Amino acid sequence: MLFSFVRRNFRDRRLHLIPTVLVGVLLLLGAGDDSARVDRIGHQLMCVCGCNQVLLECNHVGCSYSTRMRDELTAAVTRGDSDNNVLQWFIQTYGTTVLTVPTDHGFNRIAWIMPYLALVLGIGLVVFIVAVWKKRPLVVHASVPTAVRGVELDRFRDQARRETQL
Amino acid sequence: MAELGSFVLLLALALSAYSFLAGLVALIRKRPDSERLSETARRAGIASFGAVFVGAVVLVTSAFRNDFSISYILHHSNRDLPLPYKFATLWSGQEGSLLFWSLLLSGYGLVLRLRHKTDVRLFAHASVVIAAVQVFFLLLLNFAAKPFAVIQTTVPPDGNGLNPLLQYPEMVIHPPMLYLGYVGFTVPFAFALGALAMKYPGEKWIHITRRWTMVTWGFLTCGVFLGAHWAYSVLGWGGYWGWDPVENASLMPWLVGTAFLHSVMMQEKRGMLKTWNMWLVFGTFWLAILGTFLTRSGIISSVHAFAQSSIGDWFFWFLIVTLATFTFFFIKNRSHLRSEHKLESLISRESSFLFNNLLFVLACFTVLWGTWFPKISELAQGKKVTVGAAFYNKVTIPVALLLLLLTAVGPLLAWRKTSFESLRRNFLWPSLGALAVGIALVALGVKPWNDVSYFYALVAAMLAALVAFTVISEFIRGGRVISGHTGENLAASMVRLWHRNTRRYGGYIVHFGVALVFIGILGTPFNREAEKEMAFGDKLALGPYTLLCRSYTQEENANYGTDLAIIQIFKGDKQVDTLYPESRFYTASQQQQHVPAIRSTLKEDLYVVYEGQNQDTGRPIIKAHLNPMVSWIWIGLIVMVFGTILSLVPNAAPMRATVRDNSEARVPAHAAPVGAGD
């Protein structure tokens, strides 16, 4: 009797604990998520002290910016601001140089397009050059074949050595 | 001392100016006495080395004597600076490094002028070009960046000291290597411009230039990698390459110089790409100067702020003048640069060189574009942007992987045309080996579908393996053939193989080194880090390691005071190491600097930084990075340098076949032409 009362009471208490544990777990999950977001966004931002380092990698001794900026980032993420809003806030506060890379819209898109465009154009150019050079006529002197000897033979041997693998 | 230094620099300027003007007049004027005038110009050039050398000795001596009446010594040295860094004062600041540049250039000029009998007229042209460049640097040293300027106030009892970032053993060798590379590219440029100006017949100039370029390229490679190692060991952010504009400035001439080293073979073997090679030589030299312009002008922000000054304008105009001069001679004499051969197949060594050059130049363009884009953006839209590592990683990795593929494939393609049978024979086993490496990595847990960086790492690993296997298979294949003829063992046969064609097989070893470097780099996506405020006895777990904070202590010497953390490193229950990350405070410069402690193994680096104390809690902060495979980058560098040295060794005398009168060739058993060609 006593045993069953204790057991029932304990089970009830466990039942009462479930929402508390769930909230705790969710909070912990949320905390983990926030920390991942801070890490992700923090690697998209530069420290503006002039050390030219990513915000979360700034180890500049006595840096007067990075600690404050990290706190601002953590606060914004904890508030639940979206990634875009957080980044926009940093741009408005510290200027466009706060982003580690150019954005992919407007004029800045050129920064991203140009290397790939150069690659495509370059490959096209090389293929074109190969095609043109393949069609280039080779000057052939018409002559009666004769045995090659002496210096000329040495020259041919040298050329063969240079132009062959084996 | 300062007066002597100033005098010899003025003397060096006069001698270089004479060498340039007299040499130029002797080349233009075709009179009988021109030869004598040219000889006086050559001797003046040689003498200028003596004058600059004395200037450099005076500056170093002043550093050792703590002569703080010289402004440069006051700002870059102090009484308690260790002796090696006092010697390194020569290149620690702007004026000194320009003097060092001038010393190296006059040294290269000395060697060139002493070897003038190789080809008197070509060397006379090259000597004039070198003298012109030397005049520019000596003008800077005499009028814009004087290393012997004397302070006008009372001489302070001690100097301001050397920048803490520069007080690291590699500081004694990294800048000289880099400068030997930068300055050395003046020599190929001088030969190229000389050959262009005189319409040099034949390809002899390119043979001469190639050897100079290889030496210079070796120095620049060392300089670039030592810079990366310095950044890794000193800056304390856990990485070795931050795509800083000044790092980029050293990479750009290296990329174009590497392109030239490959494409020059097209000109040597097939008489092709003459115009292209001219521009590559010029581009390499020009980019080396551009790098100095970037470093010195402050036009682009960089962590190398210690090098900034107002002499950027001088470099800007020098760049313009050199470009104009080269363009003038190119337009004037371009008819001399026609190709002699046609291309026969897309699958040939020639095509692979074309694509190789495209990728190197494209990589250089991408780096240049990223470096200048902040400035372009400022001009176009009135606001600056940052172009950081994420940009470069995204746009350069595909190009780097394509280059790695070509590194594996290119050397095994034949000149003119390659048959599919030959392709199959050469690539079957290396390809299967690379595939096996890929499968093994996936089995070990690398999941390329999880993240694009893992995908790149997997592809890079497979391509690096392909390069390594093709190099090994080439050595074994050639070694076996020689072994079959001579009866020597395989190792001895491979040494003989290399000696028959040192450039080719030395080049293969360089390629092998490149593969190792890539193996080191591909660990980057798997880097991990952890940070914790650690009191005595606190633990920090990172990967297989546990860091146990044992103690904190302080030490002091005349140069700096330091806070040391004593961190015991455990792997499982076993202690494997003790690391001592430091935070130093340099007395003379009143600057603080972290000095990371690194436990390096072939598998990974444990990189521990003492980041100072939390301002709120006062507790020490320890940050640890676990960087896989980094050691392979430095091992790769050693292999690359070894390969470069091997490729500079002269070939063994070529074996000759004897031809009978009845035209039947009798080839001696040992005369198999294995290893010929490049």
**Which of B57, B67, B55, B50 shows the shortest CA–CA distance to B15?**
B50
Distance CA B625, CA B240 (A): 13
pLDDT of residue A29: 45
Sign of CA dihedral B111, B177, B358, B189: negative
The region of weakest confidence among A153-157, B83-87, B414-418, B575-579 is A153-157
Residues 6+ positions from B150 with CB-CB distance below 8 Å: B2, B69, B70, B71
Q: Where are the domains of chain B?
A: 1-162, 165-396, 419-523+635-666, 528-628
pLDDT of residue B678: 53
Q: B21 phi and psi, to 5 degrees?
A: -70, -45
**Which of B190, B179, B403 shows the shortest CA–CA distance to B281?**
B190
Q: Which residue has the tokens 């146990």?
A: B548
Q: B536 phi and psi, to 5 degrees?
A: -55, 130
Q: Which residue has the tokens 């002197």?
A: A141
Mean pLDDT of chain B: 87
How far from chain centre, in Å, is Cα A8?
Answer: 57
Residue A48 and residue A65 in contact, taking contact as beta carbons nearer than 8 Å: yes
Residues in chain B within 8 Å Cβ distance of A66: none
Give the helix/strand (H/E) hosting B372.
Answer: helix B349-381
How open is the CA angle B450-B454-B459, to the nearest 5 degrees? Answer: 125
Which residue on chain A is closest to B352 by alpha carbon?
Answer: A126
For residue A66, being part of any structural domain is answered with yes
Of the two residues B529 and B642, the one the predictor is more confident about is B642
For B388, the closest of A101, A116, A133 (CB atoms) is A101
Q: B594 phi and psi, to 5 degrees?
A: -80, 140
Burial of B606 (0-12, 13-18, 19+ CB in 10 A): buried
Q: How confident is the model at residue A137 (pLDDT cuts 50, 70, 90)?
A: low
A112 has pLDDT over 70: yes
Q: How confident is the model at residue B192 (pLDDT cuts 50, 70, 90)?
A: very high
- Three-class DSSP category at B628: strand
For A161, the closest of B345, B663, B673 (CB atoms) is B673
Distance CA B29, CA B60 (A): 42
Distance CA B87, CA B76 (A): 11
Interchain CB distance below 8 Å, A106 and B381: yes
Q: Which residue has the tokens 């870059």?
A: B76
B426-484 pLDDT, tens digit per residue, is 888 899 999 999 999 999 888 888 888 889 999 999 999 999 999 999 899 889 988 88
Structure token digits, residue B615: 């301002």
Residue B252 and residue B224 in contact, taking contact as beta carbons nearer than 8 Å: no
For A136, the closest of B342, B415, B659 (CB atoms) is B342
What is the rounded average pLDDT of the residues B165-178?
85
A163 and B CB contact within 8 Å: yes
For residue A1, being part of any structural domain is answered with yes
Distance CA A4, CA A1 (A): 5
pLDDT of residue B445: 84
Residues 6+ positions from A99 with CB-CB distance below 8 Å: A44, A45, A46, A87, A90, A91, B385, B386
B488-546 pLDDT, tens digit per residue, is 888 999 999 888 888 889 999 999 999 999 999 998 888 898 888 888 889 999 999 99
- Three-class DSSP category at B597: strand
For B237, the closest of A46, A57, A133 (CB atoms) is A57
Q: Amino acid identity, residue A35?
A: S
A35-59 pLDDT, tens digit per residue, is 888 888 988 899 887 777 888 877 6
pTM: 0.86
Per-residue DSSP letter, B655: P
Distance CA A148, CA B257 (A): 40
Distance CA B94, CA B80 (A): 22
Residues in chain A within 8 Å Cβ distance of B305: 50
What is the rounded average pLDDT of the residues B266-288?
88
First to last CA, chain B: 53
pLDDT of residue B603: 92
Interchain CB distance below 8 Å, B343 and A114: no
Q: How confident is the model at residue B673 (pLDDT cuts 50, 70, 90)?
A: very low
Sign of CA dihedral B488, B494, B495, B497: positive
The CA-atom distances, in angstroms, between B271 and each of A162, B63, B196 are: 12, 52, 15
pLDDT of residue B15: 95
Mean pLDDT of chain A: 74
Bridging pattern class, strands B658-659 and B665-666: antiparallel
B11-40 pLDDT, tens digit per residue, is 999 999 999 999 999 988 877 778 889 899
A49 and B CB contact within 8 Å: no
Burial of A149 (0-12, 13-18, 19+ CB in 10 A): exposed
For residue A30, being part of any structural domain is answered with yes
- Give A79 to chain B, closest Cα distance, Å: 23
Interchain CB distance below 8 Å, B369 and A97: no
For residue A160, being part of any structural domain is answered with no
Interchain CB distance below 8 Å, A54 and B673: no
Residues in chain A within 8 Å Cβ distance of B354: 126, 129-130
Q: Whole domain around residue A93: which residue ranges?
A: 1-101
Q: Amino acid identity, residue B231?
A: A
Q: A56 phi and psi, to 5 degrees?
A: -80, -5
Beta-bridge partners for B665 = B659
For residue A56, being part of any structural domain is answered with yes
Q: Amino acid identity, residue B179?
A: Y
- Three-class DSSP category at B92: coil
Residue B131 and residue B186 in contact, taking contact as beta carbons nearer than 8 Å: no
Distance CA A49, CA A72 (A): 15
Q: Please state the domain count of chain A.
A: 1
Q: Amino acid identity, residue B547?
A: L
For A126, the closest of B345, B355, B394 (CB atoms) is B355
A102 and B CB contact within 8 Å: yes
Residue B134 and residue B16 in contact, taking contact as beta carbons nearer than 8 Å: yes
ipTM: 0.80
Residues 6+ positions from B652 with CB-CB distance below 8 Å: B496, B499, B500
First to last CA, chain A: 98
CATH number at residue A73: 1.10.8.640
Distance CA A157, CA A53 (A): 58
Burial of B661 (0-12, 13-18, 19+ CB in 10 A): exposed
The region of weakest confidence among A77-86, B204-213, B288-297 is B288-297
Interchain CB distance below 8 Å, B358 and A106: no
Q: How confident is the model at residue A151 (pLDDT cuts 50, 70, 90)?
A: low
Residue B524 and residue B456 in contact, taking contact as beta carbons nearer than 8 Å: no
pLDDT over 90 for what percent of chain B?
A: 47
- Give A21 to chain B, closest Cα distance, Å: 27
Alpha helices in B29-119 (DSSP H): 34-64, 71-76, 83-87, 94-114
DSSP assignment of chain A = -HHHHHHHHHHHHHHHHHHHHHHHHHHHHHHHHHHHHHHHHHTTBB-TTSS--BGGG---TT-SSHHHHHHHHHHHHHHT--HHHHHHHHHHHH-GGGBSS--SSGGGHHHHHHHHHHHHHHHHHHHHHHHHHHHSPPP----------HHHHHHHHHHHHHH---
For residue A161, being part of any structural domain is answered with no
Interchain CB distance below 8 Å, B388 and A46: yes
State the best of A51, A59, A128, A155 to mutate against chain B, taking most chain B CBs within 10 Å: A59
For B377, the closest of A95, A108, A116 (CB atoms) is A108
The CA-atom distances, in angstroms, between B505 and each of A164, B27, B266, B390, B509 are: 15, 40, 17, 36, 6
Residues in chain B within 8 Å Cβ distance of A161: 654, 673, 676-677
Residue B159 and residue B117 in contact, taking contact as beta carbons nearer than 8 Å: no
- Give B284 to chain A, closest Cα distance, Å: 19
pLDDT of residue A150: 65
For residue A9, being part of any structural domain is answered with yes
pLDDT of residue B660: 47
Which residue on chain A is closest to B412 by alpha carbon?
Answer: A165
For residue A137, being part of any structural domain is answered with no
Interchain CB distance below 8 Å, B354 and A129: yes
Beta-bridge partners for B531 = B623
Per-residue DSSP letter, B440: H
Q: B383 phi and psi, to 5 degrees?
A: -140, 145
Residue B603 and residue B629 in contact, taking contact as beta carbons nearer than 8 Å: yes
